[in-house]
Structure 1
Amino acid sequence: MADTPRTLHIASWDDRFLAWLIDVILVGAILAGLGEVANVFSLLTGSLSITTPFAGMNGVGLFVYWTALEGYQGQSTGKLVMNIAVTDERGDPIDYATAAIESFGKAFLLPLDLIIGWLAYEEEGLRLFNKLSSTIVVETDENADSQPRDVEYVYPSDR
């Protein structure tokens, strides 16, 4: 008996962009907040430095953020909101090493990552670093993990 092929719906560029934007705003706000705390601390201790140790850290912060969350569960906060996830080419979860490769391009080389991806892998919907890491970004079924397959829930509003 042949297995039924798994159907994966590749996430749209719009959903991917919105997820990226949510993540960039979130991580940027956190890093900005940490920078403000560092500035206040330096003023209280008498330091005359007007720079923070977090200046220029957005790329590193985003890289660590994406690697950690996507390596753990395949979804950053932005991807969770947009119901998309990073998986391997078969739709299975990725590990931290794969997430690091996939995240490197969007954290540090995004314009190049996108342009090469759009030119070389247009039909596949891949960035360059998706191709290098053998990952894809797929739509998720928001109810798939929350309900067992052999149970049907009837809510009060359904009666």
Structure 2
Amino acid sequence: MADTRRTLHIASWDDRFLAWLLDILLVGAVLSALGEAAGVFSLLAGGLSGTTPFTGLNGLGLFVYWTVLEGRQGQSVGKIVMSIAVTDERGEAIDYVTAAIESFGKAFLLPLDILVGWLAYEKEGLRLFNKLSSTIVIETDEEETGKPRDVEYVYPSDK
């Protein structure tokens, strides 16, 4: 009988941090642009307040962003760039509910999420909300990302 075990390489904290940083910069820029546009429209409509409807919604924006992308494909833009992905504990894709649980901690409770993770799950490389959602963050093979494992592609340039 063949050994069917898979080897999963847990992503480093450095790669995870850089992916997170890319994501918050991207989402922050988008929300800032939307907030500026809303602020301009508010002033044009006679609003006296300098605040926008998007003030304080960064956490919600990040939560929705991570939940949608990681629930759909296991990767946010930052994770794609860093070649890492969120999976279940067996390395399989997660669903939107699992992605929402996993994303809640990093969107709203990041200091607590990481601190508990470092203290309680340091060896496993988990945040608290990874543990609660039964997810892990793994390294991906760039060449295999998005391709079936049992298919070999031959490109025109290979002929």
Tell me the distance in 2 between the aligned counterparts of 1:51 and 1:147. Answer: 48
1:151 has 2:157 as partner: no
Write out per-residue CA displacement over residues 106-125 of structure 1, whole angstroms, 9 at most, x where no aligned residue: 00000010010001001100
TM-score normalised over the length of structure 2: 0.93
Partner residue in 2 for 1:41: 41
Matches within 5 A, 1:39-118: 39-118=39-118
CA separation of 1:53/1:148 partners in 2, compared to 1, >3 Å: closer, same or farther? Answer: same
RMSD over aligned Cα atoms = 1.7
CA separation of 1:148/1:113 partners in 2, compared to 1, >3 Å: closer, same or farther? Answer: closer
TM-score normalised over the length of structure 1: 0.93
Aligned length in residues: 158
Superposed displacement of residue 88, structure 1:
0.1
Write out per-residue CA displacement over residues 78-109 of structure 1, whole angstroms, 9 at most, x where no aligned residue: 00111100000000000000000000000000
Percent same amino acid at aligned positions?
A: 73
Partner residue in 1 for 2:10: 10
Tell me the distance in 1 between the aligned counterparts of 2:75 and 2:115. Answer: 23
Tell me the distance in 1 between the aligned counterparts of 2:78 and 2:112. Answer: 22
Superposed displacement of residue 149, structure 1:
4.1
Name which of structure 1's ranges 145-154 and 73-82 shifts more when overlaid on structure 2: 145-154
Partner residue in 2 for 1:140: 140
SS in 2 for 1:115: helix
Tell me the distance in 2 between the aligned counterparts of 1:98 and 1:14. Answer: 23
SS in 2 for 1:17: helix
